[in-house]
């Protein structure tokens, strides 16, 4: 096997497998509209897909799965769609909590909780606590999450530490800033998948995905299966990742 000269692979990136996969679960609305049904039905169908994908992770060597459930920009949707999504998140946590716990899934949430309903935040906190001893799969749900918002919040906290005299400007480097990100305990994603045919990243894990591989697929999220997930993850192993370095002769 060829060796690479790069020595600065992002923290946690596996030598060939996708240890951390992040997914932009897009296409719920179109899936429902194609069936002449309300968009919210597509979100409900989308929520039902999550369990199968989480369950597929251990056999594929995927230890970390991060899913984009609601962005800082999604508040621009109609009031009824936003309310429907918030209610879906509450019901999802209530319905799935015990099952996630029993299946050894550790759940974390990233994003700004300030704008979320306190009852939802309580459910999120409880689920994080309930599953905090699990280690089979680490599922991170991005809820009211935006990459720019996350980096801005991190910069603000870093500035506060400097103001308090606990850090100085000389301490500011990429590693220090990353310690203030919501994802500070997670490795960077190796692979980012977006469903539904759109080829954009929509403010998802901007900092963390600097060296991620991207896979844009046409399948709408409610039609995404463990089989397709497995094909993509297995295909990832064949990619040549150099992190800005060059490939050395074998």
The residues carrying an active-site annotation are 26, 74
Neighbours of 81 (CB within 10 A): 16
- Would you tell me which residues interact with ligand FPP (CB under 6 A)? 25-30, 43, 46-47, 69, 74, 88-89, 92, 141, 196, 221
- Tell the smallest beta-carbon distance from residue 34 to ligand FPP (Å): 9
- Tell the smallest beta-carbon distance from residue 8 to ligand FPP (Å): 33
CB-wise, 34 or 155, nearer to ligand FPP? 34
Task: State the binding site.
Answer: 26-31, 39, 43, 71-73, 75, 77, 194, 200-202, 213
CA dihedral 49, 50, 53, 56 (to 10 degrees): -120
The two tokens of residue 59 are 């056999």
**Which residue lies nearest ligand FPP, judged by its C-beta?**
29
Element (H, E) at 53: helix 39-60
Asked if 177 and 153 touch (Cβ cutoff 8 Å), the reply is no
Burial of 7 (0-12, 13-18, 19+ CB in 10 A): exposed
CB-wise, 105 or 141, nearer to ligand FPP? 141
CB-wise, 83 or 210, nearer to ligand FPP? 83
Task: State the binding site for Mg(2+).
Answer: 26, 213
Please state the φ and ψ torsions of residue 168, each to the nearest 5 degrees: -120, 170
- Tell the smallest beta-carbon distance from residue 222 to ligand FPP (Å): 8
- Tell the smallest beta-carbon distance from residue 122 to ligand FPP (Å): 16
Please state the φ and ψ torsions of residue 70, each to the nearest 5 degrees: -160, 125
Opening angle at CA 57, ends 142 and 20, nearest 5: 55
Task: State the binding site for substrate.
Answer: 27-31, 39, 43, 71-73, 75, 77, 194, 200-202
83 in helix, strand or coil? helix
CB-wise, 46 or 189, nearer to ligand FPP? 46
200 in helix, strand or coil? coil
């Amino acid at each position: 096997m060829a060796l690479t000269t790069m020595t600065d692979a992002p923290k946690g990136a596996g030598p060939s497998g996708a240890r951390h996969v992040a997914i932009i679960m897009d296409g719920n609305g179109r899936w429902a509209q194609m069936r002449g049904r309300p968009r919210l039905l597509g979100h409900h169908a989308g929520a039902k897909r999550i369990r199968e994908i989480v369950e597929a992770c251990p056999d594929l060597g995927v230890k970390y799965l991060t899913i984009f459930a609601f962005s800082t920009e999604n508040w621009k949707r109609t009031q009824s769609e936003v309310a429907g999504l918030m209610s879906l998140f509450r019901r999802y946590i209530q319905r799935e909590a015990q099952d996630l716990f029993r299946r050894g899934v550790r759940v974390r949430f990233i994003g700004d909780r300030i704008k979320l309903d306190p009852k939802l935040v309580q459910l999120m906190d409880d689920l994080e606590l309930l599953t905090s001893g699990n280690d089979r799969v680490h599922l991170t749900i991005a809820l009211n999450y935006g990459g720019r918002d996350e980096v801005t919040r991190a910069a603000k906290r870093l500035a506060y530490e400097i103001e308090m005299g606990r850090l100085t400007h000389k301490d500011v480097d990429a590693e220090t800033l990353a310690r203030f990100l919501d994802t500070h305990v997670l490795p960077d994603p190796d692979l980012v998948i977006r469903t539904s045919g759109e080829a954009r990243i929509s403010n998802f894990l901007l900092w963390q995905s600097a060296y991620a591989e991207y896979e844009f697929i046409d399948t709408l999220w409610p039609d995404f299966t463990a089989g397709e997930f497995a094909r993509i993850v297995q295909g990832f192993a064949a990619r040549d990742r150099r992190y800005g370095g060059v490939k050395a002769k074998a």
